[in-house]
Amino acid sequence: MKKVLIYDSILRDGAQAKGISFSVEDKLKIVEKLDSIGVAYIEAGNPGSNPKDLEFFERVKKINLKHSKVIAFGSTRRVNKPVEEDANVKSLLKADTPAIAIFGKSWGFQVTEILKTTLDENLSMIRDTIAFFKNKNKEVVFDAEHFFDGYKADPEYAIKTLRAASEGGADSLCLCDTNGGTFPDEIYEITSRVVKEFKEDIGIHCHNDTGMAVANSIMAVKAGAVQVQGTMNGYGERIGNANLTTIIPNLQLKDEYSCILEDSISEFTTTSKYISEIANVLHDERAPYVGNFAFAHKAGMHADAVNKNPTAYEHIAPETVGNERVFLMSEVAGRSALLNFVNSFDKSITRDSPETKVILEKLKEMEFKGYQYEGAESSLELIIRKILGKYKPHFDLGEFKVLVNEPSISKANSSAIIKINVDGQQEMTADEGDGPVNALDNALRKALERFYPQIKDMKLTDYKVRVLDSSSATAAKVRVLIESTDGKEVWTTIGVSTDIIEASWQALVDSIEYKLIEEK
């Protein structure tokens, strides 16, 4: 297999995404995870930009990496300044990494209008900076910023910037589609020329502003690039960077390229979700290969065909990347999908069992009322267990009251009082929360923990409300979806009512009941 060096810049490019801020501990965890799957390079930020990165570079040196090289990232020397006196250059040395990434301008417009210098001085800045680090025995990656825009405007000058980097001793030349506006055919054509003209390894760095970063990266590899820069889960500024969770399996499973350790591809979905958790970003359910819906089937004919032979509607086996097949439960799912779901917890039910028809009719009835079980299969499982006589509630509600107070100076505050019955024992408790649903959740779990201590591990991770009939204004029926986790499993439950508190209560109860059933 042909080797492609994967270069992950999530700790710099990913940290520039809206809503993402990595702590030093977060960064160290990501480094260890990327090293464990065999990522070749981990770009970790600019040591001269902030104290947090300085601390990171000090601590990462103590980690014994087996497969990855950590790279410090910075710019060429400043205009008309000796390289050895440049503060940014000094900070890159202080990071003490085995490799350095230097970015420089490859677009004349950027040189004259943004840097406000001459084209020749820009070439000297590139050459001088790279030569400086090569004299310090560093591996140097040159990031040719805005290369494709620069090439389209002035091919000769764009090539000159690569030539300057080569003369400085760069080990690899990375072509950057910084604005994310280049098409795959252009990427292929331009990269092909560069590969033929330079002896150094050629890399590709794409942004996703036109939705083509993955395709562009793959076309560059087809043209001869051997280094692919991107980020796990595609995190990055604006729309994001090239998504390595799509690029890697595409190259490694669909073509004859080796990108990461062969065994680690089966852990790919877990790795992707682990990084989503650290980034505190909801995992993309529709992501290719690693999304929860990547191998999800809803239509009855599709589900039936997949049950007979998965290749009918799946391009790879989901377990290849550590994912799993999902049959989405809905009124159009059909008997095959429903039976597959029921058999996951009761193998005695067959296609011809009378219960199968009853369950299908119940599913259609509930969807008519506004319930939607695709993505909320945990609530559906509880309904089916009731039909099959395999469900006994773990508690009964006596009553509950929710009080919403006037907003204080700092935050809105709500409180809930709840009374429950567990095997003849009554428990009444109250708690507060940020909003009525949070208060109700806190009070309910507080009341139950005496009987079921295992729910202490459980927490809500997402809460969604959708209005089902907007023409009814404030009297409209709403659908509430609650996502929960115990740190090992994630499940989603549903509630529907014209009262948002009632709908939330239904979803909350289902969430806890599902947890308790799964614990048995």
Q: What is the spatial distance between Cα 233 and Cα 239, in angstroms, rounded to a whole number? A: 12
Q: Which tens digit of pLDDT belongs to each residue from 193-223?
A: 999 999 999 999 999 999 999 999 999 999 9
What is the token pair recorded at 399?
């009553």
Mean pLDDT of 1-20: 92
Residue 400 resides in a domain: yes
**Are 427 and 369 members of one domain?**
no
Residue 421 resides in a domain: yes
Q: Which tens digit of pLDDT belongs to each residue from 68-83?
A: 999 999 999 999 899 9
pTM: 0.72
**Are 253 and 312 members of one domain?**
no
Q: Are 104 and 77 in contact (CB under 8 A)?
A: no
CATH number, domain at 486?
3.30.160.270
Q: How far is CA 488 from CA 6, 274, 451, 485, 519, in A?
A: 29, 11, 22, 7, 12
Containing domain of residue 158, as a range? 2-260
**Are 98 and 201 members of one domain?**
yes
Of the residues 387, 422, 441, which one is the last residue of a structural domain? 387
The predicted structure's pLDDT at residue 327: 67
**Are 347 and 414 members of one domain?**
no
N- to C-terminal Cα separation, the chain = 47
Q: What is the spatial distance between Cα 425 and Cα 418, in angstroms, rounded to a whole number? A: 14
Q: Which tens digit of pLDDT belongs to each residue from 106-162?
A: 999 999 999 899 999 999 999 999 999 999 999 999 999 999 999 999 999 999 999
Residue 285 resides in a domain: no
Q: Tell me which amino acid residue 324 is.
A: E
Of the residues 366, 387, 408, which one is the last residue of a structural domain? 387
Does pLDDT of 329 surpass 80? no
Q: Among 245, 179, 212, which residue's Cα sits nearest to residue 10?
A: 245
Within 38-183, residue ranges assigned H as helices are 51-60, 87-95, 108-109, 119-134, 147-153, 155-168
**Are 380 and 443 members of one domain?**
no
CB atoms within 10 A of CB 457: 12
Of the residues 387, 421, 452, which one is the last residue of a structural domain? 387
Residue 284 resides in a domain: no
Q: Are 195 and 207 in contact (CB under 8 A)?
A: no
Q: Tell me which amino acid residue 488 is.
A: K
Q: What is the spatial distance between Cα 27 and Cα 15, in angstroms, rounded to a whole number? A: 10
Q: What is the spatial distance between Cα 492 and Cα 282, in angstroms, rounded to a whole number? A: 14
CATH number, domain at 246?
3.20.20.70
Residue 287 resides in a domain: no
CB atoms within 10 A of CB 237: 17
**Are 233 and 316 members of one domain?**
no
**Are 227 and 86 members of one domain?**
yes
**Are 351 and 478 members of one domain?**
no
Q: Which tens digit of pLDDT belongs to each residue from 467-481?
A: 876 555 556 788 888
Residue 271 resides in a domain: no
Residue 82 resides in a domain: yes
